[in-house]
Structure 1
Amino acid sequence: MDRRARPGGDVRRRRTSRAPGRARRGVGAGGRRLPSACRTARVRPGGGRPRPPHRLTDRSFLSAPVGPILLEHLFDTGELNPEQRAAATHGDGPLLIVAGAGTGKTTTLAARVAWLVTERAVPPERILLLTYSRRAAKDLVDRAQRMTGRADAGRVWGGTFHAVANRLLRINGRALGLSPAFTVLDQADGADVMNLLREELGFATRGRRFPRKDTLAAIHSRVVNAGVKLDDVVQRWYPWCVDDVDGIRLIFRAYIERKRAQQTLDYDDLLLFWKALAGSPVTGPQLAQLFDHVLVDEYQDTNAIQADILMSMRPAGPNRNLTVVGDDAQAIYGFRAATVRNILEFPERFPGATVVKLERNYRSTTAILRLSNAVISLAAERHDKSLWTDRTDGERPALSACVDDADEAEAVCRSVLEHRERGVPLKEQAVLFRAAHHSDRVEIELLRRNIPFVKYGGLKFLEAAHVKDALALLRILENPLDEVAWFRVLQLPEGIGPTAARTVMNGLGLTGSDDPSTPLRRFLEEPVAVPKGAGDGIRDLRSALDGCRDEGTMAPAAQLERLRAYLEPVIARKYDAPGPRSADLEQLAYLARGYDS
């Protein structure tokens, strides 16, 4: 569908018959009602009920006069603190708002939009607001509407980088040879196209491992967003793919040609084409003239190509009205090629930029803020700031020193149970980790103590496919009658699928045998009927299991160490990102040292 650009962007504009002075009547900053003196209805000379100003239509709102008396009371900054007010009412020129956690960043950015629309009379459709999600864009524009009491504030161009790029390219893409009817591939679609090309070019049937579609898509995305050459990306982030760079390059070239032929763009292309459009000497100046002000949220999580786009898109002329908001201490999307350098180097890239720091925290307590200030002060490069609050209540954070990660996991679980006994429900307790894999030991300890939990961000460690492969091998060694484990393990060798696995299982005597060891003994000692080409894989599996038979004397950790030699080439063949998965097996073996079974 041709989604042409329109003011308002991702946010659907609500049609209303209310005049600007009566929309969302009496609502000010933060959603609170404005004092009656700040409301803007007109009073008839003869008294009676106020009569609203004339209705603004889609055609007339650009030219409708707004008098200075009306402007004086349209926007109330009284509920902003001094730093928030300074940021919201900044005049012309580049502005960096360094907003610490919990300092009212969203309120400040929405207030700036409202101030520009009311006090500076900037037409809403000449404001570009770039956010990290559609939800954030909607929230910001809705807040600006409530602050101004004007429905036309919803005509701000609000959206993500990708959504705004989509709208701009629908209108201006012909300059780049792009049809307005192009279609957009989401991440899954793009990976599927990579997979088709992988098969068409013969990389799926070679006798050695080749990166699968998700790895190919991730490499391609990092090359585009980080602006780094393919060889360097693979060397630094995907070292297990170094030997396949030439093949990857062939697939990427075919991928570009396929998209061009089919008039499709993936998410990365949206940014590439926008950058090309903004950087062109022909279309660039025209694009920059579309907006009087450009505002960017979460600037610490932008990447290199997005920073280049902003350099080209900033409004023309000496004022360069670009406002960015972010916090270098909250940069968390490096794995998506975001770079904190963008916010650290903003004053150098935009000489004369004003820097406003939001340091008053509205969420936390003094004790916690002192700790966070002390921790972030150790950063080698940062924007200096010191968070503070009026709240002096709350407990001081406690630092618990543990001998190792096993001791740490036990301490966490003890604390969870102690709080539960004091009346704190499990669902009101949380354990935070810097990275998902740091939770492995705690997850196992929670399971051991029968403490239910929900993990947010990735699979639970023991639910990852490659970890379940390893555990299935251990389960067979522990209980050779485990049918589910056999069904999984027998599909590890290349060339064996569900049907062949079931055929092998039928001959193992999983049911009707008085001796629990019969299935494993038969698999290791008797001929097994498998499809042609699967013989080598079966022999490797037999050897791995046979090397761990010990009549119950070998500990699980020792068994895992031996099984890793078998599993690592299997993982390299079956799954993407074999490097991190191999590290997971190492972690599993390490965790197993604390258990006898």
Structure 2
Amino acid sequence: MDSTPTGKGKGTDETAIGAILAELNQQQREAVLHGSEPLLIVAGAGTGKTATLAHRVAYKIATGTDPGRILLLTFTRRAASEMLRRVDGILRRLEAESRRTDTATTPASGRVWGGTFHAVGTRLLRLHGRSIGLEPSFTILDRGDAEDLLGVLRTELGLAKSDRRFPLKGTCMDIYSRCVNAREPVDQTVEADFPWCKDDIDDLRRLFAAYVDHKADHNVLDYDDLLLFWHGLLTDAAAARSIRSRFDCVLVDEYQDTNRLQAEILQMLCPGGIRLTAVGDDAQAIYSFRAATVRNILDFPQQFPETRVVTLEQNYRSTQPILDTTNGVISEAAERHAKNLWSQRPDGARPQLVTCDDEDEQTEFVIHQVLEHRESGLALRRQAVLFRASHHSLTLELELARRNIPFRKYGGLRFVETAHVKDLMAFLRLAENPRDLMAGTRLLMLLPGVGPKKARGLMDRLTGNTGRGT
């Protein structure tokens, strides 16, 4: 592959591009300069994955690719924003290197199609949904509302009054979502992941059929539908041509956390993998409980035979003793993309695995270590305790407070999940789509004396009147 920058975008020159690329290591530059053939960047933890992807986007723009024809898919909205912020920074530095700082420009990344699969799917469905019979005015059920709808239908079908235990609405939603994202039939999903529900397979099918019909009747989609209907768009020949023609470059972050449905979308969006860049690390695949499959990244070179694999191994975050431990653990994987992480920071303590009998002993050990480090000169503000989930910190928080050890906790209930925000969003959704049952029910139940049954009756009257155009 040619490893020198070629092409010339507006407002940049090859010298400026070369100066920006000089700060990358050899593997990162190879990834940035790769052409249009399918590219898999296997990026070990701390190896500058975000910098590499941002430089690739910036390089595409600097060498002439229209930013509005670049699609950047990330795992979270925050990741997309951070990536595009970095792209803007790189492009501004390119202008400075080209001595063109006297020209005011609008950030080019603002025109990049950047966001999560669900956000991009929503945007495409608004534009092309009519080609598969979907009205662009659809509203979206969040996870809580989708569960509530399944709960309502579960009651209407008499499943809640069964003489045996039937899965609760949250479990039903988990099963439905996994069926959609893993592309599995109900019986296969239940037998593999929810075996305690195997006697309810027929009733689950009835429930899911009613759920799908209700969404279609009321012009609402849930999060899984955003992917499923995007997939449907790409199976329509005319819509698929229109969507493919929008993009000259498709980049996907955290590819190890994609599910089968998302992989199929990418295969149809980029036939043969042409113009597709996937970035990820099979050793960091942690979302199988959400139907993500590590097979997507492991099988990428087989799915796209012309794939170039670039492995990022230089770690900028950790010391070598930590990486030696990491490499030892990763090497035990039965199947993997080979990599050996290394660092220019040779010194540092080896990681320790400490086993405690219970949570109280664990808390005591952590506090002892914190105070010991403090006495040795390491300030409290430079120490951190990490938890898998926010609620796991409760015991430690209480003990730190009892011992008068100051601390700051990061994390907790997300803003959009708080009750008052969900109430506001329900109001806005109902204003846009008067047939949105769950939004209307939520709002009506805020009124004194209105319960689920009365709210449902009022919404049925409202949707009936709306259907007659009054």
The Cα offsets for residues 142-201 of structure 1, whole Å up to 9 and x where unpaired, read as: 211121126223211001000000010111111110011111111111111111111111
Distance 1:390 1:106 in 2: 20
Q: Is residue 2:80 matched to residue 1:129?
A: no
Distance 2:260 2:301 in 1: 16
Distance 1:237 1:133 in 2: 26
Distance 1:340 1:189 in 2: 30
The Cα offsets for residues 416-464 of structure 1, whole Å up to 9 and x where unpaired, read as: 3143144167776555577899x79x959986996789998999xxxxx
1:257-276 matched pairs, under 5 angstroms: 257-276=213-232
1:520-559 matched pairs, under 5 angstroms: none
Tell me which residue corresponds to 1:383: 337
SS at 2:21 equivalent? coil
Distance 2:277 2:116 in 1: 15
Change in Cα spacing, 1:129 to 1:412, as seen in structure 2 (3 Å) is same
Distance 1:298 1:268 in 2: 19
CA contact (8 A) 1:413 1:445 kept: no
Q: Is residue 2:361 matched to residue 1:410?
A: yes
CA contact (8 A) 1:416 1:429 kept: no
Q: CA deviation at 1:207?
A: 3.5
Tell me which residue corresponds to 2:249: 293
| Greater relative contact order (Cα < 8 A, sep 6+) | 2
Tell me which residue corresponds to 1:556: none
Read off the aligned partner of 1:366 and give its amino acid letter: Q
SS at 2:72 equivalent? strand
Read off the aligned partner of 1:161 and give its amino acid letter: F
Structure 2: stretches of 5+ with no match in the other structure = 1-7, 93-104, 414-470
Q: Is residue 2:147 matched to residue 1:203?
A: no
Q: 1:372 aligns with which of 321, 326, 331?
A: 326
Q: Which has the larger radius of gyration?
A: 1
1:38-437 matched pairs, under 5 angstroms: 70=13, 72-73=15-16, 76-119=20-63, 121-149=64-92, 151-314=107-270, 320-400=274-354, 405-406=356-357, 410=361, 413-414=364-365, 416-423=367-374
Change in Cα spacing, 1:248 to 1:88, as seen in structure 2 (3 Å) is same
CA contact (8 A) 1:94 1:322 kept: yes
Distance 2:346 2:117 in 1: 40
Read off the aligned partner of 2:43 and give its amino acid letter: A
SS at 1:204 equivalent? helix
Distance 1:444 1:289 in 2: 54
Distance 1:202 1:410 in 2: 48
Q: CA deviation at 1:247?
A: 1.5
Tell me which residue corresponds to 2:429: none
Read off the aligned partner of 1:333 and give its amino acid letter: Y
SS at 2:279 equivalent? strand
Change in Cα spacing, 1:186 to 1:448, as seen in structure 2 (3 Å) is closer
Larger helix share, 1 or 2: 2
The Cα offsets for residues 383-436 of structure 1, whole Å up to 9 and x where unpaired, read as: 110111111232222345x5xx51797366335314314416777655557789
The Cα offsets for residues 345-402 of structure 1, whole Å up to 9 and x where unpaired, read as: 11111102111111111111011111111111111111110111111232222345x5
Distance 1:298 1:319 in 2: 17
Read off the aligned partner of 1:122 and give its amino acid letter: T
Change in Cα spacing, 1:254 to 1:429, as seen in structure 2 (3 Å) is same
The Cα offsets for residues 528-569 of structure 1, whole Å up to 9 and x where unpaired, read as: xxxxxxxxxxxxxxxxxxxxxxxxxxxxxxxxxxxxxxxxxx
SS at 1:128 equivalent? strand
CA RMSD of aligned residues (A): 3.0
Change in Cα spacing, 1:448 to 1:95, as seen in structure 2 (3 Å) is closer
Q: Figure out how many residues of one structure are paired with residues of the other and give that number.
A: 387
CA contact (8 A) 2:363 2:396 kept: no
Read off the aligned partner of 2:316 and give its amino acid letter: Y
CA contact (8 A) 2:253 2:280 kept: yes
Identity, % of aligned positions? 51
Q: CA deviation at 1:110?
A: 0.5
Change in Cα spacing, 1:365 to 1:234, as seen in structure 2 (3 Å) is same
The Cα offsets for residues 503-542 of structure 1, whole Å up to 9 and x where unpaired, read as: xxxxxxxxxxxxxxxxxxxxxxxxxxxxxxxxxxxxxxxx
Distance 2:214 2:226 in 1: 16
Read off the aligned partner of 1:98 and give its amino acid letter: V
Q: CA deviation at 1:84?
A: 0.9
What TM-score, normalized to structure 2? 0.75
